[in-house]
Structure 1
Amino acid sequence: MASKMSCWSVVLMLSILLGSTIVFFIIGALGPLSTQGVHHPMSLCIVPSSHKIVWDSSKRMIDDEQCKTMGRSVSLNELEKAELYPTENALFYTPIPFLKKNVMSRLFHFLIVDLGINFKTSEYPKKLMKHNLNTFRAEVSLGYRNKISGPWTRLASGNVSRTVSCSPNHMGVTTCDHAHLFELGSCHHKQYMVNLFFPSLPLDNMYKGLSPLARVSLYEVHQSMAFTKLWFVLKSVLCPISIAVLIWFRYRMGTADNSQQRTLQQRLMSFMGYTLVFYNVPFDLLSLYFDCPWLLVFNDFRQGLYVAALFSFWIISVQEHCRKDGETQTSIGTYWKEMGVVLLACTFLFIYEFCERGIQVVFPFYSLWGNWLSISVAWVFIGIASLSALLYLLMFLVATVRAYLELRRKEKELSSLSESARRSYEGLFGQFKFFLFVTVLVAVCSIATVVLPTEMMLHQWQHGKNEYAVYTALLTGNYGMWNAYTLLIMILYAPSKQKAASNGADETDPSKLQKFLSKQSQN
């Protein structure tokens, strides 16, 4: 009867996992895009000295009204005569949002702005690439206000260096990629103003003033309001559920028979449950009331902590069933190689995150991708983390195959056991097969979400008259899958209050199967 009930429970839990993942996927697919992008062409103001304005001690910002007072505004058509405007007198500016009557919302959650530079002809960018002079230096200042009119308050200012990558397209026309300009971890204010000043342009000895430029623009990306609301709802629902399951799991561990020593696998489940609760708490709601520029870094840290716990649980749980030395109790130090790989990948990803978004909390214009030296350092961090992740994947696949083959071989030896013991072990074998299957499924889906290009964030898949947000579906589906997987594994392997009648062991205790495999391996 035990194996029958175990079989039904495995089928039920697998259905719940797949069903919840599909439901979350559909919610995301039918929902809004996760992000929205807006193009902002920059206006040109001719003033006596743009450099003095950017570094003005009064911290004033240039907008349409200030430009009329201090100088004159130049239309985009007049850039055809840009050689008449020296760089020291030219200042580019644009409000965000572009229309004065519009305002930003705190539900936008973050603000990422890229710089786009268009040239009149392909000759200039070709010369830049030829002479390796495609780094543009600028002085930029960022201001804000919380009314649709009135003075601006300076938020940040500084010098930036951005490398512009240009290449000919399929029509032979040279186009240039956008360069990251700044990032804000929260969108707390109603309007923003960007002032941009080029002290000089590359190859200024060959080209006069702003003559190479056709247009300077900003491309702003923020999280969509509808997706933010959807994300708040998902976290507000899943957070209390994960807390309840964790409390129940800890209660079962505390009230189980004292003769049952807590296994390493169960201790890792507890840690994974704590990190899931920490990840599910909707701290994002704070951004609706407070300016939280650190929120993006904090959210990435929470997700990284849960993923590290998840990966550690996967590799150690599988390895626990591959031991052949007869040991019944192990510690985290036993798997120092596996944990070392996980910690190495997480550490270098955290260093990269801190060096990029961490510094942007206090200086939003900073970017590791601003010059070739920092780009090289960034690729070192990413390269070491990627190699560690690849090594982990190989170790996990080898351990999974070994555990599955060992399980298949040991199943043939169950016929020599008594009927009650055989039924008990058949149930444990079914549970472990379920664990292996869903673990591989979750791992594949998680990796697929990570490696997909970020350009999908702004794309929709159209089928007939219907449009589906693919990236939003992956985000919500992956989030729901992680929650369903963790909670179901905790429920499946929670210690029982009663002993099995045959040998006084808990039928849900993973150590019972581990002891059986270890014992059989020694024989």
Structure 2
Amino acid sequence: MTFCLVLLCSAPMSGVILETLNVRKLVAFGFALFTAQIIFFLIGGLIAPSPHTNDQILMTKCVDRESISDRWFFMRPRSSNYSCKEFLPEGDLDKVVPSDVKAAQIVFMAQFPHPREGVQLRMTRWFQQLIAVLMLDVKYKSQFEMRPEAQITFDVRLGYRNHGDSDHDWKEIAYSRETRPLKCTLDPAATRHQGHDHPIGDGFYYDCEVLPLFTLGSCHYDHYLVNLRIPVDTKKGTNTDIGMLQDVWMVEIHQNGGFTKVWFSLKTVVFPATLAALIFFWNRVRELSRQPNLLERTIFALGLVLSCLNCPIEWLSLM
């Protein structure tokens, strides 16, 4: 018995037989495709790690008494003469901040990656992408109540340093003043008795949505540093209605290097196979004694697009 794969042409009641497959070849072809699919599933489930890893960082608060906006403030190593000299202790900011220090002189620092077990880790280009978001700890106080449609404005600097550079040799990637809307709700325990002649007590925290900070399409450097300032300007109304800010957390998310290696390897293997199938198909079409019809050209165009998507050009990002 013979099966015919037929493509209908634009002319009525006509067709073109591209290939003939007997039962054995058809079963072998389907089994090969099914086996390849199972192998890809096993690679993704047993070999490849999770696609992304995140690191939650409590940003350290440093006091910049000289108000030098282009100076880098960092935590490691502490022995460096260029590192932060005055750290704010833990506690309510309205109590631990000295009276002569303004809000714009407080620098929130995040330096990553963190050392683990005494070993200073490094970022790698295998991580491919880097995303950071902010999480705010805002405490309710009656004299610093948050406005429903409040916005937070902050100055952020992103810097980098490579392995072998001096400890203080941080270079700027980007600087920006950003404004983000605050979407926060008060702790339900604080509003449980509201409306029964019970004022909301101080000390409850707001539940705020995360704020996008930055996205890098490649992880090109070994170490990264974030300096964040949240200035207050009563004349312009900047950050005057965001409540009592206590702490700032930064969540850093990057693609796992192991996942990237598996992903690149699969694309490198699959790309020649899809390209060879596309070339084989087009050569068989051109062997016909007529011009390719619309359906055949569409299939070729679709295969060409898929081949471009499977092309492992991401290897260039490692250079």
Q: Normalised by the size of structure 2, how large is the TM-score?
A: 0.75
Tell me whether 1:29 sits opposite 2:48 in the alignment.
no
Deviation at 1:244, TM superposition (A): 1.4
Closer/same/farther in 2, CA of residues 10 and 70 from structure 1, 3 Å limit: closer
Aligned length: 275
CA contact (8 A) 1:49 1:88 kept: no
State the match for 1:144 in structure 2: 160
Q: Which residue of structure 1 lines up, in the alignment, with residue 309 of structure 2?
A: 279
Once the two structures are superposed, what CA deviation does each residue of 1:370-428 show, in whole Å capped at 9, x if it has no partner?
Answer: xxxxxxxxxxxxxxxxxxxxxxxxxxxxxxxxxxxxxxxxxxxxxxxxxxxxxxxxxxx
Gaps of 5+ in 2: 5-20, 191-204
Q: Return closer, same or farther for 1:106/1:171 CA change in 2, 3 Å cut-off.
A: farther
Q: Is the partner of 2:3 in helix, strand or coil?
A: helix
1:165 aligns to what? 183
1:238–1:125 CA distance, 2 compared to 1 (3 A): farther
Show the counterpart of 2:174.
156
| Residue in 1 that maps onto 2:11 | none
Deviation, 1:282, is 1.2
When residues 204 and 218 of structure 1 are mapped into structure 2, their CA distance, relative to the original with a 3 A threshold, is: closer
- 1:114-129 equivalences under 5 Å are 114-121=133-140, 127-129=146-148
Q: Which amino acid aligns with 1:163?
A: P
> How far apart, CA to CA, are the structure 2 residues paired with 1:6 and 1:69?
75
User: Post-superposition shift, 1:6?
Assistant: 5.8
Pick one of 79, 97, 103 that aligns with 2:113.
Answer: 97
Q: How does 1:8-47 map to 2 (within 5 A)?
A: 11-30=27-46, 31-47=48-64
Contact 2:152 2:238 in 1 (8 A): no
Letter in structure 2 aligned against 1:74 = L
Q: Residue deviations 1:445-478, cap 9 Å, x none? A: xxxxxxxxxxxxxxxxxxxxxxxxxxxxxxxxxx
Kept in 1, the 8 Å contact 2:52–2:255? The answer is yes
In angstroms, what is the RMSD of aligned CA positions?
A: 3.1
Residue 288 of structure 2 is aligned to residue 257 of structure 1 = yes
Structure that is richer in helix per residue = 1
Shift of the alpha carbon at 1:76?
A: 3.1
Cα pair 2:147 2:241 within 8 Å, conserved: no
Is residue 2:271 matched to residue 1:239? Answer: yes
Shift in alpha-carbon separation, 1:171–1:240, aligned structure 2, 3 A: farther
- Structure 1: state its 5+ residue gaps: 290-523
The residue type equivalent to 1:167 in the other structure is T
Residue 67 and residue 248 in structure 1: after superposition, are their counterparts in 2 closer, same or farther (change >3 A)?
Answer: same
CA distance in structure 2 between the partners assigned to 1:224 and 1:146 by the alignment:
20
Residue-by-residue CA offset, 1:47-100 (whole Å, 9 max, x unaligned):
1254x41xx3xxx42113578767512233474624544212111111121338
Distance in 2 (CA, whole Å) between partners of 1:126 and 1:78 is: 15
Paired amino acid for 2:49:
P
Out of 84, 95, 102, the position equivalent to 1:81 is: 95
Deviations, residues 229-267 of structure 1 (Å, cap 9, x unaligned): 10111011111111211221222122x2213x3121211
- The aligned amino acid for 2:111 is P
Q: Displacement of 1:182 after TM fit?
A: 0.4
Structure 2 residue identity aligned to 1:198: I
Greater strand share, structure number:
2
Contact persistence 1:143–1:154 (CA under 8 A): yes
- Give the distance between the partners of 2:143 and 2:33, measured in 1 at CA: 56
**Could you give the per-residue CA deviations for residues 130-149 of structure 1, whole angstroms, max 9, x where no partner exists?**
xx11x211111111111263
1:228 Cα deviation after fit: 0.6
> Residue 218 in 1 paired to residue 250 in 2?
yes
What percent of counterpart residues are identical? 28
Is the Cα contact below 8 Å between 2:74 and 2:83 reproduced in 1? no
The match for 1:515 is none
Is the Cα contact below 8 Å between 2:139 and 2:246 reproduced in 1?
yes
